[in-house]
Structure 1
Amino acid sequence: MENTKNNIDVSSPIDIGGKAAVKNRLYKSAMSEQLGDASNAPTKALPVLYETWARGGTGLLITGNVMIDRRALGEPFNVALEDDRDMEAFKEWARAGTLNGTQLWMQLNHPGKQIPKFLAAQPVAPSAIPLGYGLEKSFNPPRALTLREIRDIIERFAVSAALAKEAGFTGVQIHGAHGYLVSQFLSPRHNQRTDDWGGSPENRLRFVVEVYRAIRARVGKDFPVGIKLNSADFQKDGFSEEESMNVVRVLEKEGIDMVEISGGTYERPAMMGVARASTIAREAYFLDYAQKVRETVNLPLGVTGGFRSAPAMNGALKDGHTDMIGLARPLALYPDMPNKLMADPGFGVELKRPDTGVKAVNRTAMLDLTWYESQLALMGKGKAPDPNYNPWLTILHMVGQLGRNAFKKRRA
């Protein structure tokens, strides 16, 4: 969507592909809520949480990753959608998340080999290549997918998308970033197959194209389908910016409705907030890449990661470098931040890192992630988030949920 310098700001509406009228330029990027139950169905906390965000003014809410296969979970309390067994719970979630004229898209995901040891003895991946950089201690080596399994997973994406539509979600997003299965297929580091699904960039691209086509066949031409895509893997032998831009161009021709730009994998977690000084000054981690993509495609782009203030958001929109602004952690603490951003052009927030005072504990408990999950859990109980929430309470909650697995690595 071409965006010349003009009067666009965070309060401006946007039409996504003629399929989704979004009331403003702000969207909630996916965060792992960890609010599924023991059978990976949505709990009552999810509708409460998403109603809170809907009433806070966000134009588009994108859920945390919903898994397309209960046998392949990225984290223990992921929600999974593979059949209609929990349809009423999903419908309740959809009703709450679409209040106040809000769009609600379900993010669909398969983790591939990024499944912690305590959840999978042998995960699957495009190729039998283990995770590196020390992660092999926490993630078992995968086996290569068979051709039949590849086709089954593609069909599972399509089935889950159709079920999301039936439940009342207003769109879906394919998770093609952060080193999960779609990202693994795209990466020359992780996809070293010698058949039609690997090797050349064109073959590595085939999986995501087939996933998109299968979804589109199930949901119809008028239902929004987007993708979250890495700008790069930030590894020498990984998915590059040039390849990423080619993927965007191909998917635009296929009919994808929106691209959200992110980056990194568990091995190189750029999505965790690692940024250069120049990037921090602009607030957006992946805005430089978005500018390059904008020159080659004409579909709506969203950038998430780093935005904290209305001036930076409005500047990125006015310059035409992105069409939508993604927010994640700020919405975990300030669920009504969109209303405030639209009311005050100078509004902004600062986020401090949670700290127990013991670096080893912070690292082992993954506090940069789990502390924010605690905030989502508070809102799911109908309580207000607490910027001063004691990080030790997060650790106690983890132990209560996971027992001896509490300090086993779930994510990088």
Structure 2
Amino acid sequence: MSQYLEKCFSGAKINSLELRNRIIKAATFEGMSANGAPKPSLGAFHSRLAEGGIGMTTLAYCGAESNGRVMDSMLYMDEQIKPQLQQIISDVHSHGAKVSGQLSHCGNFSKNKEFKGRRPLGPSFGINSVGIASGMPFAGALTIPEIKERVKTFARAALFMKNTGFDAIEIHFGHGYGISQFISPRTNKRKDEYGGSLENRMRFALEVLAAVRAAVGDDFPIIGKISMMDGVGDGIKIDDAVEIAKMLDKGGIDGIITSGGTSSMNPMLMFRGDTLLNGMIEQETNPIMKFGLKLVGPKLFRQYPYEDTYFLPQAQRIRDAVDCAVVYIGGCSSNADIERVMGAGFDFIQLGRSLIHDPDFVKHAMADANYKNGCSHCNKCATLIEHPDGIRCVEVA
């Protein structure tokens, strides 16, 4: 085994947390929750990944509050689901892996039924594209007192997660969700201290980071997912992302995940491979949304051919700019890819589709220096987030 494979499959620390290896399951929304509570299948899903040998798994989309969810099925951090979360964490721990939770907020992008008759709130007034068919076509702008309260909401959720037993928190700073909406000039049109310059647009993100750090303490691992580019003309570019990463590093984050794209404006930039559109149309049950997808989908779901380690050139710029750990994500599906990423100086690797296709990725990769994952990047797994059974690899029986 090469030195870089040995590095990947050996123990590593992030802050005070010891992981048995450097492979982390990415936060890919599982679709295995209902009315804010986890289904038994969610625990089974993560336990199976832990059994396969990963260092840490990530529960995707842990809403900071009930109104922080894109869909009312999603989890939100509340005492009523603490026992279920503790059971999931205990089961994962029994297989030797750790558990991170992706602390998120939808901001102005939601079809959560709790908003019926009201508007989800983000940095600025705008169109709530995902909520049109649910009778919520517009999003409102947060007042400064409401921004301060939302910061406290993140802190309360983070403390709840630590007390529940999560080993780490991943704050979602990217992909067009609540914090990202402040960071991106595409969605932030404010004229006050939270809008305008990049420093102002980062104010909310840095206040959230500081509040979460104060809530969980200096020794608790906090990582964050950013978008290195939004993939739209007036959005975040890689030069912005380098500065964003520097600010988060200076703000005390323990690790940065170098992703890209947005769920609401250019999702295929983060996925690559076959389009999500056909599967989403097939799964959509709302006739208005189904018609809308057929109408605007070809423009929203652009074509990006899959390439191995497709974010590496941009992520390398982040790696070179910060002192904190950097977590690579994007097109890593073989030992050759792992060697390339580890050789470039990255500290950890997040995997999504590769682990859904082969939960024993780590065991197989450790046993075979020439291991190649069989994922075809059809992306059909991602279109099943609202299926009653949740996500799965359609290529595996």
TM-score (norm 2): 0.84
Counterparts of 1:260-339 in structure 2, within 5 Å, are 260-265=257-262, 266-269=264-267, 270-273=269-272, 280-281=306-307, 283-320=308-345, 322-339=346-363
Shift of the alpha carbon at 1:129?
2.2
- What do residues 270-290 of structure 1 show as CA deviations (whole Å, max 9, x unaligned)? 123269999844x12311111
Deviation at 1:319, TM superposition (A): 2.8
Look up the match of 2:295: none
C-alpha separation between the residues in 2 aligned to 1:386 and 1:117?
28
How big is the shift at 1:161? 0.9
Match in the other structure for 1:343:
367
Structure 2 CA distance, aligned partners of 1:99 and 1:260?
26
The reply on whether 1:14 has 2:39 as its aligned counterpart is no
How far apart are the structure 2 equivalents of 1:378 and 1:215?
A: 30
Separation (CA, whole Å) in 2 of partners of 1:124 and 1:177 = 17
SS at match of 2:101: strand
Which range moved further: 90-99 or 165-174? 90-99
Question: 1:345-388 deviations in whole A, cap 9, x for unaligned?
Answer: 1111232366xxxxxxxxxxx94523477697488xxxxx6625
Q: For 1:271, give the aligned amino acid.
A: M
Indicate whether 1:32 and 2:26 are aligned: no
- For residue 78 of structure 1, the aligned residue among 56, 66, 74 is 74
- Could you tell me which residue of structure 2 aligns to residue 95 of structure 1? 90
Moved more, 88-97 or 184-193: 88-97
Cα deviations across residues 245-266 of structure 1 (Å, max 9, x unaligned)? 1111111112100111111112
d(CA) in 1 for partners of 2:187, 2:391:
38
Q: Percent identity?
A: 29
In angstroms, what is the RMSD of aligned CA positions?
Answer: 2.8
Q: Cα distance, 1:16 vs. partner?
A: 1.2
Q: How does 1:393-404 map to 2 (within 5 A)?
A: none
1:116 aligned counterpart, secondary structure:
coil
Within 2, Cα distance between the matches of 1:330 and 1:120? 35
Q: Separation in 1 of the partners of 2:322 and 2:13?
A: 16
Q: Which structure's relative contact order is higher, taking Cα pairs within 8 Å and 6+ residues apart?
A: 1
Residue 387 of structure 1: aligned partner = 395
State whether structure 2 residue 149 is matched by structure 1 residue 165.
no
Question: Match for 1:110 among 105, 108, 114?
Answer: 105
Secondary structure, aligned partner of 1:317: helix
Alignment TM-score, normalising by the size of structure 1:
0.81
How many angstroms apart in 2 are the aligned matches of 1:195 and 1:146? 10
Q: How does 1:190-201 map to 2 (within 5 A)?
A: 190-201=187-198
1:78-227 pair list within 5 angstroms: 78-81=74-77, 83-116=78-111, 120-121=115-116, 122-130=119-127, 140-227=137-224
Q: 1:37, CA displacement in angstroms?
A: 2.3
Secondary structure of 1:166 counterpart: helix
1:197-219 deviation line (CA, Å, top 9, x unaligned): 11111110011100011111111
Q: Secondary structure at the match of 1:216?
A: helix
Per-residue CA deviation, residues 272-313 of structure 1 (Å, 9 max, x unaligned), is: 3269999844x1231111111122112211121211111111
How far is the alpha carbon of 1:178 from its aligned partner?
0.6
Contact 1:117 1:140 survives alignment (8 Å): no
SS at match of 1:302: strand
Amino acid at match of 2:81: D
Please give the alpha-carbon distance, in whole angstroms, between the structure 2 residues aligned to 1:233 and 1:34. Answer: 24
| Residue equivalent to 2:58 | 62
Gaps of 5+ in 1: 355-365, 380-384, 390-412
The code of the aligned residue for 2:383 comes to: T
Q: Any idea what the Cα deviations from partners look like across 1:160-182, whole Å, max 9, x if unmatched?
A: 11111111110101011110011
Aligned residues between the structures: 363
Other-structure match for 2:288: none
3-state SS, counterpart of residue 239 of structure 1: coil
In structure 2, C-alpha distance between the alignment counterparts of 1:200 and 1:166, rounded to whole Å: 37
Distance 2:360 2:389 in 1: 14
In the alignment, is the contact (CA less than 8 A) between 1:135 and 1:267 conserved in 2? no
SS in 2 for 1:188: coil
Going from structure 1 to structure 2, the CA distance change for 1:375 and 1:305 (only over 3 Å counts) comes to farther
Structure 1 position 75, deviation (Å): 2.4
Distance 1:378 1:108 in 2: 20
